[in-house]
Structure 1
Amino acid sequence: MPLPTPNLYPAFNIVRLSHVELAVTDLAKSRAFYVDTLGLQVTDETADTIYLRAMEERGHHCIVLKQSDHAEARDLGFKVFSDEDLDKAEHFFKAKDLPVEWVERPYQSRTLRTRDPHGIPLEFYSRMDRLAPIHQKYALYKGVKPLRIDHFNCFSPDVDQSVAFYNELGFRVTEFTEDAETGRLWAAWTHRKGGVHDIAFTNGLGPRLHHVAFWVPTPLNIIDLLDLMATTGYVGNIERGPGRHGISNAFFLYIRDPDGHRIEIYCSDYQTVDPDLEPIKWDLKDPQRQTLWGAPAPRSWFEEGSTFAGTEPRPSALAASPIIAP
């Protein structure tokens, strides 16, 4: 199916992705992973919740960890340009017969909660509490030295439908994988902020959260993290990489937190600000699509993900399969 024409004037203005809430089963173990190993900064902490931000971020949090009896992904958060855009968003989602509610969120202005047509829980806000900058407080840098949250990737049961819907929200496709036999999308990378993606969609049982990615300064920081994880009890949490993606050209590493939530460590993609930038097409069977160096991903990367709260995943509509590592 052809890509939709980019919508440069959407019904409301999304600036970028902002944050995610993850339910975890052992808050102390998760704290050790995200704070002591990855190097995220604690901005608030209670008996059942930890708020974290990365080194360049001025907003209060980019990840919220919530103690729970089972692990799951909760709302994906996006920042909009103004309060007026929140009202426009409410009208947009109501017109689509999608659920809408106004919710209270600590450290955020009024927040609109909804779901996309496949059931991914979303929330939108225009203002988050600002914190003092710490990007030049180098004594705080540790772990992989995470600078900012970069993107979400979600399994979708119908990538064409996902792309069409988020295109209405103003997300523009930068790169995509097409199944040669059917002409349907197998995966697509879409953005608002001018990088390769704010949210991407991969064909599979879904919706589920595939991963959350953090931008780091250099590939050498990823090597440092691998050495740290390999000698502090986390060698089994290393899933894939390091490597360089064909798609996005980014240097990457995929790891799993103590509950299995997948985290990508990511750097070195490219700018996509121009509104008339042509998307790059990849064939599903191209061995350089996954990794420029030709190494395929393991089966777990295509089959495992975090379920979203309140949403039952369903099988994908497209049966095509990529190259999988033996």
Structure 2
Amino acid sequence: MPIPEHNLNPPFNIVRLSHTELRVTDLAWSRGYYVDTLGLQVTYEDKEVIYLRAMEERGHHCLILRHAPVGEVGVLGFKVWSEEDLDKAEHWFKARDLPTEWVERPYMGRVLKTRDPWGVPLEFYAKMDRLEPIHQKYKLYNGVKPLRIDHFNLFSPNVDNSIKFYGELGFRVTEYTEDAETGRAWAAWMHRKGGVHDMAFTNGTGPRLHHVAFWVPTPLNIIDLLDLMSTTGYVDNIERGPGRHGISNAFFLYIRDKDGHRTEIYCSDYQTIDPDHEAIKWDLKDPQRQTLWGAAAPRSWFELGSTFEGAPVTESDLKSQPIIAP
């Protein structure tokens, strides 16, 4: 199926991805992992929830850890340009018979709650409480020195349909994987902010969150994190990498927390700001698609993900398989 043309005049203006809420079963363990080990900064915490931001972020939070009986994903959040865009978003989702609700969120004010056609919980806001800059407070830099949230990757039972829906919202395809036998998209990378992606979709049982990614300064920060994790009790949480992707050209590491939530540590992809930027096509069987150096991903990377609160999952009918590590 051909990749749709970029929609340069979307119905409302999404600036970028913003935040996610992960439900976790052991808040103290999660604090040790995301704060003490990865280095995210606490902006608020109590016995039930922890709000976190990365070093370059001025908004109050990019990650919410909320104590819950089951590990799942509460929401994916996006910033829009203005309050007027929030009203336009409500109209657009209502016109497609998708649920809408206005809520007040801590540190965010007026928020539009909705879901995509597959049940993924989404929320949009225009203003989040701003905090003082800390990007030059180098004594606070710990762990992998996370600078900012970078993207979400979701398992999708039909990647072509995901591309179409999010393309209507103005997300633009930068790279994609095609299954040569069927001509269907097996994966796609789509952006709003001018990097390789804010949202990506991978074929599989879904919708489920494959991972949330954080941008770090250099590949050496990833090496430092591996040394730290392997000597502080987290070696079993290392899943894949380090390596360099063919798609995006980024240096990466994948790790998974106690509840199975996957995080990608990520740096050095490229800019895609030009509106006529052409998408790059990869073949599913190209060994350099996953890792430029040719190393295949483990089976867990293609099968394990986090469910979304209230979203039933379905299997994909596209059964084509990429190269999987033995």
Which TM class, normalised by the smaller chain length? over 0.9
CA distance in 1, matches of 2:74, 2:321: 28
Query: What whole-Å deviation, never above 9, does each CA across 1:24-58 have from its counterpart, x for those lacking one?
Result: 00000000000000000000001100000000000
Structure 2 length as normaliser, TM-score? 1.00
**Equivalent residue of 2:88, what SS?**
helix
Paired position in structure 1 for 2:142:
142
CA distance in 2, matches of 1:311, 1:168: 22
Q: How many residues are aligned here?
A: 326
Structure 1 length as normaliser, TM-score? 1.00
CA distance in 2, matches of 1:297, 1:118: 27
CA distance in 1, matches of 2:109, 2:277: 34
Structure 1 segments of 4 or more deviating over 6 A? none
**Equivalent residue of 2:105, what SS?**
coil
* Aligned counterparts, 1:267-286, within 5 A: 267-286=267-286
CA distance in 2, matches of 1:168, 1:318: 23
Shift of 1:297: 0.2
* Aligned counterparts, 1:279-318, within 5 A: 279-318=279-318
Paired position in structure 2 for 1:264:
264
Tell me the amino acid that sits aligned with residue 284 of structure 2. L
CA distance in 1, matches of 2:302, 2:63: 24
Q: Identity of paired residues, percent?
A: 78
Query: What whole-Å deviation, never above 9, does each CA across 1:150-169 have from its counterpart, x for those lacking one?
Result: 00000000000000000000
Query: What whole-Å deviation, never above 9, does each CA across 1:104-143 have from its counterpart, x for those lacking one?
Result: 2100020000011111110000000000000000000000
Paired position in structure 1 for 2:229:
229
Query: What whole-Å deviation, never above 9, does each CA across 1:257-277 have from its counterpart, x for those lacking one?
Result: 121100000000000000000
CA distance in 2, matches of 1:259, 1:207: 17
CA distance in 2, matches of 1:57, 1:36: 18
Paired position in structure 2 for 1:119:
119
Paired position in structure 1 for 2:188:
188
Paired position in structure 2 for 1:254:
254
* Aligned counterparts, 1:1-326, within 5 A: 1-326=1-326
**Equivalent residue of 1:201, what SS?**
strand
Query: What whole-Å deviation, never above 9, does each CA across 1:201-225 have from its counterpart, x for those lacking one?
Result: 0000000000000000000000000
Tell me the amino acid that sits aligned with residue 220 of structure 1. L
**Equivalent residue of 2:160, what SS?**
helix
**Equivalent residue of 1:30, what SS?**
helix
Shift of 1:100: 0.5
Shift of 1:317: 2.3
CA distance in 1, matches of 2:234, 2:303: 21
Where does the alignment leave 5 or more consecutive residues of structure 1 unmatched?
A: none
Query: What whole-Å deviation, never above 9, does each CA across 1:50-76 have from its counterpart, x for those lacking one?
Result: 000000000000000000011001110
CA distance in 2, matches of 1:247, 1:174: 9
**Equivalent residue of 1:110, what SS?**
strand
Tell me the amino acid that sits aligned with residue 30 of structure 2. S
**Equivalent residue of 1:35, what SS?**
helix
Tell me the amino acid that sits aligned with residue 277 of structure 1. H
